[in-house]
Amino acid sequence: MEHKTFYIETLGCQMNKSDSETMSGILEAIGYEKVSLPEDATLLIMNTCSIRAMSENKAYSYLGVWKKLKQKNPAVKIAMCGCVAQQTKEKVFARSPQVDLVFGTQNIYELPALLEKVEAGERVCSVMKTPYEGETSYKPARQAGISAWLPIIEGCDYFCTYCVVPYVRGRQRSRKPEVIIKEAREIAADGFKEIILLGQTVDSYGNDFNTEGINLSYLLRELNKIDDILRIRFVTSHPSDITDELIETVRDTQKVCEFFHIPMQSGNTEVLKRMRRPYTREEYLALVRKIRAAMPDVGLTSDFIAGFPGETEEHFADTLSILDEVVFDHCNTAAYSPRRQTPASVWKDQIPYEEKKRRLNVLNKKVRETVEKSHQKYIGRTLEVLVEDFKEENGEIILTGRARNNKIVHFKGEKDLTGQLANVLINEASIWCLKGIAV
């Protein structure tokens, strides 16, 4: 029997990485072995991201490299999945003829049947608009470590004018709470200490159930009861779905970390309206004040876009000023990238590339300044850290972990602290991390 091996290259968000873990579990269940190098694989899978043009181009660049591997060994099969595949379907074959299989975000669980067709000599494109109903058939092959991703909701109903997510991931769909809780117990049994709940709009969880009381707050309280899990996080939040109940639940539930990732995208209300973000600058600031009033030490991070169509210098200045006003703990930034199917991609008032690049550089400089400012306040304070990893440096063990507010912390200690909680007195701060000593 042929020895079947696979290699998955994953681009994009944590949901994509979770999907790759699911695919790994499926492939291992049907007899494939995972390898760490593409040249050792008989099956190569490119899990793509279409959120920006750069990510899409990177995927095709990988496929170009893999074409050479297939030329050396024609038996190698190449597959593309993820958001680019969901969006472009059969067009992938025209751009990359070496690809044997294209499948979308909704039908990962069809992979065994699709591979049978490919092995029989077919070229296959299978992109579904509705999710396959076999989501619990296989156990994800999660990477060893302390934290495990657990998707609880997929898709999005907001249809922001710049975003492809509703088109490639579909409308909002929450997983049943009993299925999530069962999987969380399995995660705990496998030795993981932290669960990170995933969703494009994770705090919208349960809105599609039309069942009173089944929401993210309910789920957090139920997951808090699971023994051996030390911490629970969730990403990504939409400002419009963060309720008073959720804020109180995060504050009052022991294992739930005081951390919110809340993309704002622009600091200007007019731009937010054009983005179809259903809140104003002041409403976002009021939400931040409410969260910090409940949890003064909360970690707050965000996303911002530079150079959205029609953005003036005055609009951009509002984004810079919001960074000074909020002082986020971290921000993801990007220049606006027109994406297929989205309304903003065809607007006439596009910002020139060089100007978008300039604004992004200015934005990144401001982010670095404000993040460094946010880190300085932790010097002299003691933080609870979940130890995730260690390395040996000059004969000493340097431990790395995260505080409850998601700050990365380095300190000296012993290897056997990995997976445990430690109190660390912070004595040094940089843009990227905090350093301290165990107390």
Domain end, chosen from 354, 376, 398, is at: 376
Report if residue 142 sits inside a domain: no
Shared domain for 114 and 220, answered yes or no, is: no
CATH number of the structural domain spanning residue 35: 3.40.50.12160
Tell me the per-residue pLDDT of 87-116, one tens digit each, with 9 for 90 and over: 999 999 999 999 999 999 888 989 999 999
Q: Is residue 140 in a domain?
A: no
Residue 416 has φ and ψ, to the nearest 5°, of -70, 0
Residues 306 and 214 in one domain: yes
- What pLDDT band is residue 278 in, cutting at 50, 70 and 90? very high
CB atoms within 10 A of CB 28: 15
Q: Residue 137 domain-assigned?
A: no
Contact 314, 270 (CB under 8 A): no
Sheet of strand 259-261: strand arrangement: 259-261, 299-306, 330-335
Domain end residue (candidates: 376, 393, 409):
376
pTM: 0.91
Question: Where does 224-270 show beta strands of DSSP type E?
Answer: 231-235, 259-261
**Nearest 5°: phi and psi at 438?**
-70, 140
415 in the same domain as 336: no
pLDDT classification of 134: cutoffs 50, 70, 90: very low
DSSP bridge pairs for 103 = 126
pLDDT at 395 over 90: no
Indicate whether 279 belongs to any domain.
yes
Return the number of other C-beta atoms located less than 10 Å from residue 186's C-beta.
Answer: 15
Longest dimension (CA), the chain: 66
Residues 175 and 270 placed together within one structural domain of the fold: yes
Containing structural domain, residue 399: 382-438
**φ, ψ at 244 (rounded to 5°):** -60, -40
Q: How many CB atoms sit inside 10 A of residue 301's CB?
A: 19
Give Cβ neighbours of residue 84 (< 8 Å, ≥ 6 apart).
48, 49, 50, 56, 59, 92
Together in a domain, 34 and 73: yes
Say yes or no: 370 and 427 in one domain. Answer: no
Please tell me the predicted confidence (pLDDT) of residue 250.
Answer: 99
Going by C-alpha positions, the residue among 291, 307, 328, 303 that lies closest to residue 200 is 303
If asked whether residues 191 and 223 sit together in one domain, one would say yes
Residues 296 and 164 in one domain: yes
pLDDT one-digit tens code per residue, 204-243:
999 999 888 999 999 999 999 999 999 999 999 999 999 9
Contacts of 341 (CB under 8 A, 6+ apart): 87, 164, 167
* Same domain assignment for residues 304 and 424: no
Whole-number Å distance between alpha carbons of 276 and 264:
12
* Residue where a domain stops, chosen among 82, 97, 126: 126
Nearest-CA neighbor of 124 among 94, 89, 96, 95?
89
**Structure token digits, residue 105:** 């975000």
Domain presence at residue 38: yes
What does the pLDDT read at residue 144? 83
What residues pair up with 391 in beta bridges, in sequence order? 398
Q: What CA–CA distances, in Å, run from 214 to 161, 178, 182, 222, 364?
A: 29, 11, 16, 11, 39
Q: Confirm whether 60 is domain-assigned.
A: yes
- Provide the pLDDT for residue 63: 96
Identify which of 42, 47, 45 has the alpha carbon closest to the alpha carbon of residue 5: 42
pLDDT of residue 212: 86
Mean pLDDT across 181-196: 96
pLDDT at 1: 55
Q: What are the structure tokens assigned to 345, written together?
A: 């991609």
CB 184 within 8 A of CB 195: yes
Shared-domain flag, residues 91 and 162: no
Give the tens place of pLDDT for each residue, 39-97.
999 999 999 999 888 899 999 999 999 999 999 999 999 999 999 999 999 999 999 99
Decide: residue 322, CB within 10 A, 0-12 exposed, 13-18 middle, 19+ buried: buried
User: Are the C-beta atoms of 364 and 333 separated by less than 8 Å?
Assistant: yes
Cα gap 420→382, rounded to integer Å: 16
167: in domain: yes
Angle between helices 111-119 and 14-29 (to 10 degrees): 60
Mean pLDDT over the full length of the chain = 95
CA atoms within 13 A on the CB side of 382: 6
CA 354 from chain center: how many Å? 28
Please check whether residues 342 and 216 belong to one and the same domain: yes
pLDDT in tens, 13-32: 999 999 999 999 999 999 99
Phi, psi for 194 (deg, rounded to 5): -135, 140
User: What whole-number distance in Å separates Cα of residue 269 and Cα of residue 99?
Assistant: 44
Quickly tell me which residue has 């490919």 as its tokens: 118
Total domains in the chain come to 3
Determine contact, residues 107/126, Cβ cutoff 8 Å: yes
Q: pLDDT confidence of 137, banded at 50, 70, 90?
A: low
- The pLDDT value given to residue 387: 97
Residues 165 and 85 in one domain: no
Instruction: Indicate which CATH number applies to the domain containing 308.
Output: 3.80.30.20
Q: Alpha-carbon Rg of the chain, whole angstroms? A: 22
Domain presence at residue 141: no
Enumerate the H helices of 281-328 as residue ranges.
Answer: 281-294, 313-326
> What DSSP line would sit under 47-98, residue for residue?
EE--SSHHHHHHHHHHHHHHHHHHHH-TT-EEEEEEHHHHHHTTHHHHH-TT
DSSP 262: -
Dihedral of the CA atoms 403, 409, 413, 418 (nearest 10)?
50
Compute φ and ψ for 408, nearest 5 degrees.
Answer: -80, 130
